[in-house]
A and B are shown apart, each in its own frame.
Chain A
Amino acid sequence: MSLSVVGLSHHVAPVELRERVTLDLAAAAELARGLGDAVCLSTCNRTELYLWDIAEERAAATLEAAAGEPLDGVLYRLHEDAAALHLFRVAAGLDSLVPGEGEILGQVRDAYEAVTPGPVLDRVFRQALGVGKRVRTETAIGESPASVSSAAAALAAQVFGDLRGRRVLLVGAGRIGELAASNLVSRGAEIAFVANRTEETAHDLTRRFGGAALRLDEIPTRLGEVDVVVSSTGSSDPVLRAVDVPSRRRTPLFFIDIAVPRDLDPAIGGLGGCFLYDIDDLEAVVAETLAGRRAEAERGEQLVAEEAERFHTWRASLDVVPAIASLRARAEEIRAAELAKVRVSDDERRTLESVTQQILNKLLHLPTVRMKEAAVTADGVAYADAVRHLFGLDDERRP
């Protein structure tokens, strides 16, 4: 009986293949139950089957059936400690496309809770959830934004702090601009105005984000009423020049220009109280934060390795614990049987009970400790077998 994982991920499989084996939570749970004691983790970046005492070929065949083609050279198979280490790295976000991304921990939890795993899978998944949490709390791996749109919102927060109540002017209908606006809104900002070259698109955006529609030529008159400007038009001419920006003395004005060619006059960044970031600036910030994430990932790897060692110790103890339990049960059985043969008073029996119990404990203490020590080495199983043989113990089944 062994722990194993069979699966494919973004490291080895292109998206065209991954999307064919991606399952929703219910389908993944159903697939796992069909296999036996298994957990199926399926996200857009990976589909993995964690197995206990199940032939890998069955799991591989199941995935190949879903993919509709052989998966030779794409599927990876890991066993025991390597399988546990892999799960810990996945839960901690260390195996993700963006190191430290937080969504995967919730996906691991969902996959685990969707089925009722046996003791070993239960233990390894509970530990994995703990590892994921630990890496996030003890390192700064998840603190920095990993995309241009989230970096834009994080930069606005560096100026204003809490973004609740901050008013945003969204210019244009570019996709990254919309994502940046969504990020700002998720941090509490509100879309006050939406400006676009075509009135119809502007109204369409106001229906999605709220706020009032503006024409592009109305932008300068509204700058005094907003805190953040996000611009992402497809215009080849500047949408806003520095001379059209009113001076800001008391509250700052933060400009995010995600358009190429740029919408906003670069001279705006030189105005007092104005801060301007274009797409290159944002990408440089993201690259820097990703470098920081990678540095933190090294610390995360250390934590994961510690937890993998703990799992190894626990897993190894499973080889000897049944033998220890049998040995103690046999000794207790003999002690009780021999005591039953003795005819003594109640007081004397109590004394005998106590003395023989102490003798038993002292006699078995050292073998118990030695077997537990041997369990974490390669000799663990040999020790357990030797004890069973020497004392004629029943064959115990390990979990």
Chain B
Amino acid sequence: MVEALFWPALVGYGEAAVAYASPRTSPAATWGVRVGWLAQTALLAAQAAHADGFPWSSWSGSLNLFVWLVVGAYLIWGCRPRFRLLGLAVMPLAAVLFVVARVGGGTHEGSGSAYGSLFLVLHVGFVLAAFAGFTLAAALAGLYLWQERRLKSRAPDILRLRLPPLASLERLTWRTVAVSVPLLTLGLAAGIVRLRRDHHGLDALEAVTLVTWLVYGGFLALRPAGRRAAYLALGGFALVIVVRLALSGSHFA
């Protein structure tokens, strides 16, 4: 029953990923994002209702939650006609990761974790929300670099295939990181308190997450502009990918 909700969400995300390819079908893509996200929200709510505790503590469960947060952040920040190409970057990624989460069992009914729900909400919830923000910031930074390159190379189609202005992309990237870093700080603080209580050392994932926090903290402190800011946002996101995909097994095991 719970898993039945996976399909409408996937269809919504998949439709959006395809429909964003053309300006004519872009409005339909926006509806795909909305419908898919609502279906996934229902899926998560059903998972939470069935599980006795926090049901997303496995790597695949957290990936499911991560996709929901990424799409939610996109709905808030970037779901506008001028940002069609941002949707074209975010929605295929969301659809693929959602399928990976299902293959790993993250969309099943799930069960509670040995850890307390409050700790998991604070730790997993905040960290994943921050990572979702960094994902969106990376997509914006990628668009910035593409737009800057087109302007530099004086691409004749620059006004035909319109991207958001450089200034808007730069401002949105910074704001997204500025919102995400405090969330990561809170999530890490919750994790560190737990580590100290349990007398555990840092694993590889935790170490790389700390480096990620330093990179984005540096981004906010130095407030770089233009291409430098975009490269830094993308560099930070590379670490997020390592944390989410390469090292997640060690942490969740």
Contact = CB atoms under 8 A, between A and B. Distances in A.
11 contacts: A161-B164, A249-B225, A250-B226, A252-B166, A269-B152, A269-B154, A273-B226, A285-B156, A285-B159, A287-B156, A288-B160
Contact of A289 (B160, B163, B225): B160
A160 B165 contact: yes
Contact of A145 (B23, B156, B159): B159
A214 B151 CA distance: 29
A160 B156 contact: no
Given A159-B167, A275-B151, A144 B159 contact: yes
Contacts of B156: 281, 284-285, 287-288
B159 A155 contact: yes
A285 B159 CA distance: 7
A287 B154 CA distance: 13
A273 B229 CA distance: 13
A236 interface: no
Interface string B156-175: 11111011111110000000
Interface string B225-244: 11100000000000000000
A170 interface: no
Contact of B159 (A158, A161, A252, A269): A158
A158 B147 contact: yes
A159 B152 contact: no
A158 B160 contact: no
Interface string B113-153: 00000000000000000000000000000000001000110
B221 to A, nearest CB: 16
Nearest to B82: A161
B166 A289 contact: no
Contact of B158 (A161, A249, A252, A285): A285
Per CB-CB distance, the 5 closest pairs between chain A and chain B, nearest first, are A161-B165, A284-B156, A288-B156, A281-B154, A161-B167
A158 B225 contact: no
Nearest to A295: B160
Contacts of B163: 158
B212 to A, nearest CB: 25
A292 B160 contact: yes
Interface residues of B, number: 20
Interface string A265-281: 00001001101110001
Nearest to A251: B225
A144 B158 CA distance: 10
A154 interface: yes
Nearest to A277: B154
Nearest to B163: A158
A288 B157 contact: yes
B151 A159 contact: yes
Contacts of B160: 144, 288-289, 291-292
A163 to B, nearest CB: 10
Contacts of B159: 144-145, 151, 154-155, 158, 285, 288-289
A356 B158 CA distance: 71
A140 interface: yes
Interface residues of A, number: 29
Nearest to A283: B156
A155 B158 contact: yes
A307 to B, nearest CB: 20
Contacts of B168: 161
A12 interface: no
Nearest to B162: A158
Nearest to B154: A281
B158 A157 contact: no
Given A158-B158, A250-B225, 4 more contacts: A158-B165, A275-B151, A275-B152, A288-B160
A359 B76 CA distance: 62
Contacts of B158: 155, 158, 285
A140 B23 contact: yes
Contacts of A252: 166, 226
A157 B162 CA distance: 11
A278 B163 CA distance: 21
A272 B162 CA distance: 22
A236 to B, nearest CB: 24
A169 to B, nearest CB: 19
Contacts of A291: 160
A277 to B, nearest CB: 6
Interface string A117-151: 00000000000000000000000100011000001
A155 B163 CA distance: 11
Contacts of B165: 157-161
Interface string A153-187: 01101111100000000000000000000000000
A158 to B, nearest CB: 5
A291 to B, nearest CB: 8
Interface string A240-254: 000000000111100
Contacts of B157: 288
Interface in B199-238: 225-227
Contacts of A249: 225-226
A130 to B, nearest CB: 21
Find the residue from B152, B154, B166, B168 having the highest chain A CB count within 10 A: B154
Given A288-B160, A289-B159, A158 B226 contact: no
Contacts of A158: 147, 151, 158-159, 162-163, 165-166
Contacts of A161: 164-168
A155 B176 CA distance: 26
Nearest to A138: B24
Interface string B59-101: 0000000000000000000000000000000000000000000
B87 to A, nearest CB: 18
Interface in A344-373: none
B84 to A, nearest CB: 12
